[in-house]
A and B are shown apart, each in its own frame.
Chain A
Amino acid sequence: NAGVTQTPKFQVLKTGQSMTLQCAQDMNHEYMSWYRQDPGMGLRLIHYSVGAGITDQGEVPNGYNVSRSTTEDFPLRLLSAAPSQTSVYFCASSYYIGSGSSYNSPLHFGNGTRLTVT
């Protein structure tokens, strides 16, 4: 049971480049989400998904796209990287309250991807 796996661990991009941050979980969690962590800003929600085929915007969605074609995977795409997207990105998953399978289920986090855009 690997939990939540994020790749890559580190990435350097030039302004305007695109890339995809990968996230996979093996706990059969319906709910998956992406956060960015910046000094003094805490964790801010980018996008989330309550199940395959369903995605929604979080607090800071601009500049990012997501898709959820399977329960296990939730990739985050940067279409045209900007220096303002330099951050540490965390993927997290949990059971979904609406599913009835678990009540008040906590998030399980990956170890993060440190992204630098120059």
Chain B
Amino acid sequence: AQSVAQPEDQVKVAEGNPLTVKCTYSVSGNPYLFWYVQYPNRGLQFLLKYITGDNLVKGSYGFEAEFNKSQTSFHLKKPSALVSDSALYFCAVRDRARWNRDDKIIFGKGTRLHILP
């Protein structure tokens, strides 16, 4: 069974500084990895996804994610944080078993990002 871990409940970064939100995963097959963002009282919005062969993936709002197969990590990054980036961020992993219909998408517990003015 797949799993995903976000080791930090919250991350605080000064505006203009680079930010990193950590995610590690465990899957039995090929990793299908995603990052989502949630603003207050809203549903989750897709930010970016891992594309096989690309160790650095670019997504929405200037975010990118670094894939590291040996460390089974998919950390979310942004070179220069904005106050408007303050939100709840979720990492997710999809473990698709090709020999049956099992197709769960499992989320981490989320990391609250605070960008300080």
Contacts and interface: CB of A to CB of B under 8 A. Distances in A.
Contact of B43 (A33, A40, A58, A112): A112
B68 interface: no
Q: How extensive is the interface on chain A, given as a class? A: 20 to 34
A42 B108 contact: yes
A48 B104 contact: yes
Given A43-B90, A97-B96, A98-B101, A59 B46 contact: no
A104 B49 contact: yes
A74 interface: no
A8 to B, nearest CB: 15
Interface in A50-78: 50, 54, 56, 58-59
A56 B43 CA distance: 23
B32 A40 contact: no
A92 B103 CA distance: 14
B106 interface: yes
A50 B105 CA distance: 12
Chain A binding site: helix, strand, loop or mixed by DSSP? strand
B61 to A, nearest CB: 15
B96 A98 contact: yes
6 contacts: A33-B105, A45-B105, A48-B105, A50-B103, A90-B44, A107-B105
Interface of B: 6, 9, 32, 34, 36, 42-46, 49-51, 90, 92, 94, 96, 98, 101-110
7 tightest CB-CB pairs across the interface, nearest first?
Answer: A42-B109, A109-B43, A43-B107, A106-B46, A109-B44, A97-B96, A111-B43
